[in-house]
Amino acid sequence: MAPAQLSQAELDRRKTVGINPETVTNITSTDFPGHHPGEDAAWSIDRFSKGLEVKFHKNSYDEATFSLIGIDASVANAFRRILIAEVPTLAIETCYFNNNTSVIADEVLAHRLGLIPLKGSLRGLDYLKWYVRPDPENGIEGMDPSDYNTVVLNLYVKCEWKPNPPENGEPEEKYNHSNVYARDIKWEPMGRQKEEFEDLEIQPVNPDILIAKLRPGQEIDIVMHANLGKGGDHAKFSPVGTATYRLLPKIEILKPILNQDALEFQKCFPAGVIDVEYVDAKAVTENERLRPHEGEQYAKVKDPMKDTVSRECLRHDKFKGKVKLGRVQDHFIFQVESTGQFPSDRLFLESVKVLKYKAQTLLRALDNIDS
């Protein structure tokens, strides 16, 4: 069957979720992503490539905001889940206690240490491989710790009185090492690790994380082994603080909203979403309906991405029939916050690699079934 020839307006309508005062419309999924009755649903890499678009809106080391356009919700959600649970990261996995006379129990202290995010040279992190722990009871031979699968860290802190301490001073004024911080964790390079992590040694992302409080005579002496893991096994391995997406808001002004109404309409949205300007020749060129209102103020959509789709404008009778709200079904706005081990933009690329590997594994399994 030949593909149906549809107007751009009809295609836009299909891709828009309707936001009404009390309901949401056009949310029914199709049997196949992007397929509607009477159309050719055959997969085409060319068609997919033409429709796919990636736009970065913010890209810092700790946070990235970008748009993925032209994909199905199932694919977008796969990336989100992979970012949270399947991108491998480095975290403290095993603690060997030589001494712990603090008030914190060994298992609680070990849990705290595991949750401290670590960072280091990206080249060195790529050098590290998975560590398979021996488990004879279940028939797993495993492997020995080595420089390519295990990072060794040390924590030794002892609290002592300061010379001539003030009688009524704070603990920090009376004692040395009254607080144990993440900065007290020291990396012990093994084998080639010193070379691989030459650009940036392994260290806590935030040196000011408080681990424990000590008083004179108390000490903590621990050797820690850090290994690669994934968030699906434990939250300490998750490389992101948050990884979320939302659909792009769509605001259509159907009839001109003018003067005082325009100012009130602007207040119905977060700052920066709606702009109020004067009707000039340029505005008339963009919207012919504004021609009779030259010199007057009118409401114009400036940045729908900042909208939170609160529906506030739909509560006012004066705006009925003048505005239509929606969300674009195939425009996903991602926000990724890194815990600090990897740059936020690299995390998304890593999630693409994981999804690609899963797809290749599935194809190999299907080939084996056929054979």
Give, for all 371 residues of the chain, the pLDDT tens digit.
445 566 777 777 778 888 998 899 887 656 555 566 666 667 788 888 888 899 999 999 999 999 999 888 889 999 999 999 999 999 999 999 999 999 999 999 999 999 999 999 999 999 999 999 888 888 888 889 999 999 999 999 999 999 988 888 889 889 999 999 999 999 999 999 999 999 999 999 999 999 999 999 999 999 999 999 999 999 999 999 999 999 999 999 999 999 999 999 999 999 999 999 999 999 999 889 999 998 999 999 999 999 999 999 999 999 999 999 999 998 999 999 999 999 999 999 999 999 999 999 999 998 888 65
Identify whether residues 180 and 287 lie together within a single domain.
no
Number of domains into which the chain is organized: 2
Identify whether residues 234 and 95 lie together within a single domain.
yes
SS3 230: coil
- The answer to the question of residue 331 being in a domain is no
- The answer to the question of residue 8 being in a domain is no
- Between the two ends of the chain, the Cα-to-Cα distance in Å is 32
Identify whether residues 211 and 94 lie together within a single domain.
yes
Identify whether residues 215 and 127 lie together within a single domain.
yes
**pLDDT confidence of residue 164:** 86
The pTM for the full model equals: 0.85
Alpha-carbon gap, residue 294 to 292, rounded angstroms: 6
Structural domain for 312, as ranges: 255-321
Total length of the chain: 371
Instruction: Tell me which amino acid residue 193 is.
Output: Q
Identify whether residues 145 and 197 lie together within a single domain.
yes
Question: What backbone torsions phi and psi does residue 216 show, to the nearest 5 degrees?
Answer: -50, 130
Identify whether residues 94 and 138 lie together within a single domain.
yes
Q: What is the CATH classification number for the domain harbouring 169?
A: 2.170.120.12
Identify whether residues 224 and 282 lie together within a single domain.
no
SS3 321: coil
Q: Do residues 80 and 71 make contact, with C-beta atoms less than 8 angstroms apart?
A: no
- The answer to the question of residue 274 being in a domain is yes
Identify whether residues 163 and 265 lie together within a single domain.
no
Identify whether residues 172 and 302 lie together within a single domain.
no
Identify whether residues 180 and 145 lie together within a single domain.
yes
- The answer to the question of residue 352 being in a domain is no
Identify whether residues 233 and 259 lie together within a single domain.
no
Identify whether residues 164 and 227 lie together within a single domain.
yes
